[in-house]
Amino acid sequence: MTELDLIITNVSVVVPGEAEPQALDIGVKDGTIVRLEPGLTGADTVVDGGGKIAFPGVVDAHQHWGIYNPLPEDAASESRASAQGGVTTAITYMRTGQYYLNKGGDYGDFFPEVLALTEGRAHVDYAYHLAPMSKRHIEEIPDLVGEHGVTSFKIFMFYGGHGLHGRSADQSSFLMTPEGERYDYAHFEFVMRGIQAAREKFPEIADQISLSLHCETAEIMTAYTKLVEEDGTLTGLPAYNASRPPHSEGLAVTIASYLAHETELPTINLLHLTSRKAVEAALRMADAFPHIDFRREVTVGHLLADCDTAHGIGGKVNPPLRPREDVEALWAYLIDGKIDWVVSDHACCKDEQKFGADRDDVFLAKSGFGGAEYLLAGMVSEGSKRGVPLGRIAELTSTNPATRYGLGATKGSIAVGKDADIALVDPTVTWTVRAEDSESTQEYTPFEGAELTAKVTDSFVRGHRVMTDGVVGGEPVGRYLRRPTA
């Protein structure tokens, strides 16, 4: 009987505490890293890494399986796209209401159905963030933590006052909330109080129970959408950017932060900040309320693309792609240590659903696009040009989100005792992004034609090689992760 199931050799390994990779072999037994040293021998399988860089598998903490396509289909295809990008754990957002399962009701009934629909379908490990949309959902938070291992929750701050895709809509039917209930600032306050109550009920895991917020202000966006459409000067992604201005983000960040202070909820995640104004607001709030443990997220889309050069209105997303000066501001904040993690916000929307009758009208298009397949390659490509150490990229894409979201015991780094979740990256390959090469069922990408200078070639999930030399294959091995993992 061999000592190890798998050895990955001839690799440079990105390990915790080191800015640059180390010449080590990775020894795996029963899906866990058990040895990390040069010259390992004695395994059933030996993979020659060909001198590539071994990153911890990406913990993509912001995806949306099932938002536009049936959940079982997305769990299969979009987890393949995830594996293609070196993502080995996906945390996907889920809520009641229109889209997703298109139903309301209690999470006690709804969430087991979600788990059943994804079981055995995913090629990577996965977990769920849930959004308390009603008073009843707030009451269910302790059960969701204790029974289902859901430790992260979400508020969509513009819901209830502005349409998902840009124009106001009938929010009562969209949200599918009980008659007489409102999805507004008062509800957000009570969600915060409910999560803080859960933290007090489970003190041993309190730091891993958190609330994430999509920070945009409905009233500002409604007014500016009207201005932009009536003026008619701007079209496409620049028009959408102007219709959801950065100060809408900044204002929502400020309100969310004060509510966190009022409710004494310290674990707050500010999602997909897109602009200088949004990050400035977030940093001001951190100074104003030092007792709140804010974490700041950006997406790879907002780091790689801008509203003037992205490939078509397929790049419509909430919050919008911004001008190049905001992209550069995000990189400056990231390099300065002010950003905590980078995600994809992957939301596969097929061509037939994405675009309206007038394919050039950005206000008719749906919001969201995929990007998990470009997350790690994009960060290594662009980050390396800007002098970002590979160790910092590993923290941003894996370690930091894993720690915050209750996965740190088993995910987030290449270390003895952690799951053997590994992405091999070839930093010598230059390639051009083409939607047709993606494992996603989305037929377009705003990154079309972009040139990247690093490529993920192999992905391992708990020692299972789910992508080999750029080809995703085999039966799905992904598992639902109850959090915090042990």
Does the residue 193 lie in any domain?
yes
pLDDT at 464 over 80: yes
Helix count and strand count (H, E) for the chain? 15, 19
The reported pLDDT for the residue numbered 164 is: 79
Closest CA to 481 of 421, 434, 426, 411: 411
169 pLDDT band, cuts 50/70/90, is low
162 pLDDT band, cuts 50/70/90, is confident
Per-residue model confidence as pLDDT tens digits over 179-238? 999 999 999 999 999 999 999 999 999 999 999 999 999 999 999 999 999 999 999 999
Q: How many domains does the chain have?
A: 1
pLDDT at 430 over 60: yes
The reported pLDDT for the residue numbered 173 is: 76
Q: Counting beta carbons within 10 angstroms of the beta carbon of residue 417, is it exposed (0 to 12), middle (13 to 18) or buried (19 or more)?
A: exposed
Does the residue 436 lie in any domain?
yes
Mean pLDDT (the chain) is 96
Does the residue 44 lie in any domain?
no
Task: For residue 434, count other CB atoms closer than 10 A to its CB.
Answer: 12
Per-residue model confidence as pLDDT tens digits over 263-314? 999 999 999 999 999 999 999 999 999 999 999 999 999 999 999 999 999 9
pLDDT at 178 over 60: yes
Whole-model pTM? 0.97
The reported pLDDT for the residue numbered 334 is: 98
Does the residue 115 lie in any domain?
yes
The reported pLDDT for the residue numbered 163 is: 77
Per-residue model confidence as pLDDT tens digits over 339-367? 999 999 999 999 999 999 999 999 999 99
The reported pLDDT for the residue numbered 166 is: 72
Does the residue 192 lie in any domain?
yes
pLDDT at 2 over 80: no
pLDDT at 244 over 60: yes
What 3-state class would DSSP assign to 136?
Answer: helix
Residues 358-383 have a mean pLDDT of 96
Cα 301 from Cα 87, distance rounded (Å): 15
Task: Provide the CATH number for the domain around residue 216.
Answer: 3.20.20.140
Range of the domain at 437: 57-408+429-451
Does the residue 127 lie in any domain?
yes
What 3-state class would DSSP assign to 367?
Answer: coil
User: In which element (H, E) is residue 77 found?
Assistant: helix 71-84
Does the residue 245 lie in any domain?
yes
C-alpha distances (whole Å) from 108 to each of 121, 211, 328, 353 are: 22, 20, 44, 30
Does the residue 391 lie in any domain?
yes
Residues 466-470 have a mean pLDDT of 98
